[in-house]
Structure 1
Amino acid sequence: MSGVGPTPGLTESQRLNWLRLIRSENVGPATFRDLLRHFGSAGAALEGLPDLVRRAGKPIRIAGLDDAEREMEALAAMGARLVAIGEADYPEWLRAIDAAPPLLAIKGAGAALTGRPMIAIVGARNASVAGRKIAAILARDLGEDGFVIASGLARGIDAAAHDAALSGGTVAAFAGGLDRLYPPEHADLAARIIASGGAHVSEMPYGWEPRARDFPRRNRLVSGMSAGVVVVEAAERSGSLITARLAGIQGRTVFAVPGSPLDPRSTGSNRLIKEGAHLVTAARDVAEIVAPMLGRVIAPPPAWSENDIVEPVTLHTPDEGDRAILVEALGPVPTTIDDIIRFTGLSTPTVQVLLLELDLAGRISRHPGQRVSLID
């Protein structure tokens, strides 16, 4: 796969500002990007945040410089680093997804993240012996075909795939901070991933204990880094099906290994095949379908690098009438920003600023496809 090359790296001061901004309360990846586009830099956004949150009517915690410095020092002490989107070690496919993490904490070899294309292998935690065996065969053979294997370091299929891919390269995405391995019994496997030239990645703060809602965020990293996602043994309503759904939203190719209709661990993966996922019985089934995608250029998303922003968008102050119109137009159903602008008659800059205010106040949710919904 050929890319357009990394954007210029951040200075140490810029990296600290990026870290402070993304660690501030109610600032997620989409809000971070909007703030960067409007203010031109993370430093300017940090200066402008107090006024935005004052208008939103709800104070938020803005991460301090000391907090950011401590996190960077703690990561460095464990041999990890923070990589900004567009920099050399940031996974090329990941930077193209909606709400890509502006910063990734990375431990291990950058070559595992950018040197070769990735394929994700995910599946049941309570996997059968047969499921683990086929996951290991696929991981090993895909590695021999030049792919790095991505997964979530979970029990069962994930662990089998990582273990079999050690010689070919593998990347583990964490749901918590890089110092919060889950499950803890995979400490030896995690160490072998690093020793073999693989990598660990996380978008969560150092010291963050993973919670249930953090695992779908991790899953989007697994699928987002990869050209395709292979599902091996997935029950209905499983995390692996969430990964497959996210892969579809991200425009990734979804594959599934067929299983016995009598085994509830294969109900979800069999359904994926019925719904159009590619059936997989060998690594060549994946490689042949993914190969044509690998030569395309993955363009960097606009307005991510401070060095790419020539002139920030001028912010203005909406009046209370505009704010009331926008809030009335929103509801629990995700709506595209373009539709909001069209039906309210408000200008694009007005809607963008008001959505920033509501986002910082914790009143809206962001959804794929530039959609938002109101939180009751």
Structure 2
Amino acid sequence: MSKDSAGRSGVALTERQKISWLRLIRSDNVGPIAFRDLINHFGTAENALDALPELSRRGGTRQAYSVATQSEAERELEAAQRHGAVFVGIGEPGYPSALRQIDGAPPLLAMKGNLQLATRPSLGVVGSRNASASGAKFAAMIARDTGRAGYVVTSGLARGIDTAAHRASLETGTIAALAGGLDRPYPPENIGLIEAMTAGHGLAISEMPFGWEPRARDFPRRNRLIAGISLGVAIVEAAHRSGSLITARYAADFGRLVFAVPGSPLDPRCHGTNDLLKQGAIVTTGPHDIIEALAPLSQLELGLPGAREPETQAQLGVPTSTKDSDRAAVGAALGPTPVEIDDIVRHTGLAPAQVYLLLLELDLAGRLDRHAGGLVSLATSE
């Protein structure tokens, strides 16, 4: 058991464990939830790696299953070292406390910069890329004043509101969540900004591999990081169907506070934020609204005990094999409509651990979709 500079305890991964964790999370169809379930079932990442091809075959995969190799993981660790970055596991003391609480938190985060920022209370500030001058000014005021009040400002390095928030909190502490690898910041015009952040009072984080160029579908994952790492998220200008509204939805799902800045009904950049206010977001006309609302939350102890890998599968008391009849029952209980896993358990009469293993097989075969709130459905390609 080790502690970080803030006194938070956790279990540091050995280099061998970190390589195994990297291999597991980089293998086909292994997302954060599948990673957690694999560790729960097989005790260690090494045991889970051995089981992946068979689990995928039982789930009905139609193609050869690819397990990330030892050399691939070692090369990624070397890339991190070359870029002055480190990988921090979910059970280690430097992992963001608030992010650790969400369902499907990334098992490993690549981090570069002031690592202590990850464990401080954070406010997310996001908004329109095509920001107005007044919107950018207001975002900067929020970031500056909440930073002075002790909060780290987290955003997504995008143009407009994100950029204004990062720049205004450079001296007090700011975190950039990236959609691509740490060595592939986007947009290119903010490369200088992120270099200034990581060289001073800033931190860059990503769950994606080094060398990964961000794609459109990667940005919602980035938004999930912003919402998960923060106690609350402030939305400053957001049009309908804005990515910032995705961040707000994640924040609501995670039980975070959602702040929205009212704007002119005539400005399309404010339609999304005005809708959030209709849905119950906190009206925000100044930084004091945010600071007062966050004060009770920031005083709570957010640190959770670090979860370490069990030593053996025998300690877990979970099933290691599945039957075709049980697999058919779970498949019949699933459809295109998302359903709670507890409902599948009740419908099939199977033990919860058995259902989780069967769902894991489908997931690794690419035949399961996971949704907010722990819901699952058959993959849309089915």
Relative to the length of structure 2, the TM-score reads 0.94
Structure 1 position 47 matched with structure 2 position 50: yes
Match of 1:146 in 2: 150
The answer (yes or no) to whether the contact 2:42–2:312 under 8 Å persists in 1 is: no
Could you list the per-position Cα deviations for residues 289-337 of structure 1 after superposition, in whole angstroms to 9, with x for gaps in the alignment? 11111222336388x4216989234323222111111111101111111
Q: Distance in 2 between matches of 1:196 and 1:9?
A: 25
Residue 9 of structure 1 and its aligned partner are, at CA, apart by: 0.5
Q: Which one of 172, 176, 179 corresponds to residue 175 of structure 1? A: 179
Unaligned runs of 5+ in 2: 1-5
**1:33 correspondence with 2:36:** yes
2:252 to 248, 252, 267: 248
Following the alignment from structure 1 to structure 2, what is the Cα–Cα distance between the partners of residues 157 and 177? 22
Residues 76-225 of structure 1 correspond to what in structure 2 (within 5 A)?
Answer: 76-114=81-119, 116-225=120-229
Instruction: Measure the CA separation in 2 of the matches of 1:329 and 1:301.
Output: 35
Structure 2 counterpart of 1:18:
21
Residue identity in the other structure for 2:187 = P
* Counterpart selection for 1:346 from 347, 350, 354: 350
Distance 1:169 1:10, change over 3 A: same
Q: Secondary structure at the match of 1:89?
A: coil
| Pairing 1:221-300 to 2, within 5 Å after superposition | 221-298=225-302, 300=304
Contact 1:37 1:313 in 2 (8 A): no
Matched to 1:245, the amino acid is R
Question: Contact 1:26–1:60 (CA<8 Å) still a contact in 2?
Answer: no
SS in 1 for 2:88: strand
Among the aligned pairs, what percent are the same residue? 55
**Size of the alignment, in residue pairs?**
372
What amino acid is aligned across from residue 363 of structure 1 in structure 2?
R
Within 1, Cα distance between the matches of 2:188 and 2:317? 46
- Cα offset for 1:150? 0.1
Q: Distance in 1 between matches of 2:311 and 2:373?
A: 23
What letter matches 2:67 in structure 1? I
Return closer, same or farther for 1:332/1:57 CA change in 2, 3 Å cut-off.
closer
Counterparts of 2:118 and 2:254 in 1: how far apart (Å)?
18
Q: Match for 2:293: what amino acid?
A: I
1:4 is displaced (CA, Å) by 8.8
Task: Report the Cα distance in structure 2 between the residues aligned to 1:79 and 1:164, rounded to whole angstroms.
Answer: 24
Q: CA deviation at 1:53?
A: 2.0
- Range moving further from structure 2, 280-289 or 14-23: 280-289
Moved more, 364-373 or 196-205: 364-373
Q: 1:251 to 1:351 in 2, by over 3 A?
A: same
Equivalent runs, 1:310-325 vs 2, <5 Å: 311-325=315-329
Q: Distance in 2 between matches of 1:270 and 1:320?
A: 51
| 1:363–1:193 distance in 2 versus 1, CA, 3 Å | same
TM-score computed with the length of structure 1 as normaliser: 0.96
Cα distance in 2 between the residues matched to 1:282 and 1:292: 18
- The one-character-per-residue Cα deviations of 1:219-251 (angstroms, maximum 9, x if unpaired) are 000111000000000000000000000100010
Equivalent position amino acid for 1:152 in 2:
G
> Structure 1 runs of 4+ off > 4 angstroms?
307-310
